[in-house]
Chains A and B, each alone.
Chain A
Amino acid sequence: DTEVTQTPKHLVMGMTNKKSLKCEQHMGHRAMYWYKQKAKKPPELMFVYSYEKLSINESVPSRFSPECPNSSLLNLHLHALQPEDSALYLCASSQSAGGLATYEQYFGPGTRLTVT
């Protein structure tokens, strides 16, 4: 199973709402990633979790709060978002992160988020 699943597929939320995006993988990967992708732009790295600990935060605003409850799950909690946060949010996983070895990243299908 080389699949990364994301829910929901689409999400529309108001600027005062609180919502969460979920990501799951069962490949035994120990690194998980959140990316944000605007239309016709490449993905931008937001967070990296390695062995369930946050290892990289690319200066993401605090209205985005990641959580890694266990090695298979990754959440992104959203609160007080702005319309410019509307984008495709991609989750990815890899066997590991950092170190000398190179591991393939597997991406989920993404959650299309619209902030109204």
Chain B
Amino acid sequence: KNQVEQSPQSLIILEGKNCTLQCNYTVSPFSNLRWYKQDTGRGPVSLTIMTFSENTKSNGRYTATLDADTKQSSLHITASQLSDSASYICVSEGRYSSASKIIFGSGTRLSIRP
């Protein structure tokens, strides 16, 4: 069964601290893994996209890693800011001959406190 599981479900950290969010996926055949940031009531915004051959990708203070062997990904946020408070969603795409299957994780709700 294709699944994407994220942990923790929610996280509260102080402004300026670092944090790491986790994602495990079982989508097969695997095509790519994406991390999105979603503010409440808004559409998700793409942070990173990684294919199976990529181990790490950065976007400013966001760094995503991918281990295709263990089917795990992480999103590391450095020097957190209040504006980082949002839900972070891991998405895995499986690729078939005629279409792709996009599986969303349940997200991690991150709160940054001053």
Binding site for B on A (CB under 8 A): 4, 40-45, 48, 55-56, 88, 90, 92, 97-98, 100, 102, 104-110, 112
Chain A residues, CB < 8 A from B41: 88, 110, 112
Total chain B interface residues with beta-carbon distance under 8 A: 24
Is B25 among interface residues, defined by CB-CB distance under 8 A?
no
* B36 and chain A: residue at smallest CB distance: A107
In the complex, the number of residue pairs spanning A and B with C-beta atoms less than 8 Å apart equals 49
| Chain A: minimal CB distance from B97 (Å) | 8
Chain B residues, CB < 8 A from A109: 42-43
Binding site for A on B (CB under 8 A): 31-32, 34, 36, 41-46, 49, 51, 89, 93, 95, 98-100, 102, 104-107, 109
Chain A residues, CB < 8 A from B46: 104-106
- Measured in the bound complex, the distance between the Cα atoms of B107 and A45 in whole Å is 15
Chain A residues, CB < 8 A from B95: 98, 100
